[in-house]
Structure 1
Amino acid sequence: MISVIVADDEPLIRSGIRGLLETADDVEVVAEAGSGTEALLLVRRHRPDVVLMDIHMADGDGLSAAELVCRHVPSTAVAMLTTFGYDKYVHRALRSGALGFLLKDMPPQALLGAVRALAAGGAFLAPQVTRSLLTTFTERDPERVERARARLAVLSARERRVLTMLANGLSNTEIARSAGMSEGSVKAHVSRMLGKLDCGNRVQLAMIAYDADCGSRLSSTPESRTT
């Protein structure tokens, strides 16, 4: 059973999301929060698989709460939930460790699919957010590119190849098939890269790859990929 906490300062929205999620036999909403502060307390208490966190809430904003959850309860996958998708919020959320950025008006089945992907250790970005990221990474800041490339200097040639495929949305199984190695070897490479680059998850690895311009593009349907 996938355990979820829904954090939003509007009771009607919380109730609607809860009702939608609980139509699935494999999802249980274990708590609701009306603020970022309350969300952090409930996550620490329940240790859910996933927390859906609204960006702006009373008594502590969702982004700050998400950063604290990623830092102190890393076993919980954080997804930002909002009605808009400003670039600055997407970047801050993903760099802090969030694995998803979802829009409240996304189709019900897409939301359920996102929760399942996040609980399984994957990432999920709404299509509109993916388009925003593609636009941002098309117009790279030269200084950011150089900083990212300097960070990648510690990687081996094989790790760089795995990173490029990871950044293009391939799963461990797909990377293993493409690179001619075992899935266990891919997982080992990813684990080492997380340590070398001081990243908390695969999304942060992919963002460094984009910053360094070592990956070509996201896959054609990245929002549906579980990496």
Structure 2
Amino acid sequence: MSQAKAMLPGMRVSYDAEPLQESLLQPTWHEQLREWFDEAVRAEVPEPNAMVLATADAEGMPSSRTVLCKGFDERGLVFFTNYTSAKSHDLAATRVASATFPWLALQRQVNVRGTVEKVSPEETAEYWALRPRGSQLGAWASPQSSVVPGRENLESSLAGIERRFSESERIPVPPHWGGWRIRPRSVEFWQGRPDRLHDRLRFRRTDDSWKLERLAP
């Protein structure tokens, strides 16, 4: 018997966090997310802005990967990527996505589900200017999600881009690169609790307002 097969059934963590009560929540989902995000930063959770982005293609085949949230407000969550990537093809086809912040060290998760839209070129340019030069060069060099013969091809492409922009103080935004915004229809705040009776509080968008609901664990 493999070690994994022997260990997996018994692997679990006992959650003992304080209860998540309706009366303790901020009045809006984005204010509550800001509060929890700030607490994750203070707790030094590794990459607190990392979120698992789930998409599906036109045939319904799901896919997930970790991306970095680069901003959020009452409009939704923003991340940036290559517009020719697999995730962007999925988003363009279905116009919906889900994202989860897995703050396991705090025994917390936040799940966001909603529709998507591209951010404005101005928002993309504003963020692009903050990226390290190496990240900018990498965005030009990598045909994200495409099959490549080997690592050396990527390194060769990067070297060519470095030469191309060697005398440029500012590197322009690639035409194939930009941001997506998830506009939430529901935002669930999950807090681990003893005996697997976890607290799950969800902000759900109705026609013209938000409704707060408690979900069974």
> Is this a same-fold pair by TM over 0.5?
no
More helix by share: 1
More strand by share: 2
Structure whose CA Rg is larger: 2
Provide the TM-score with structure 1 as the length reference. 0.29
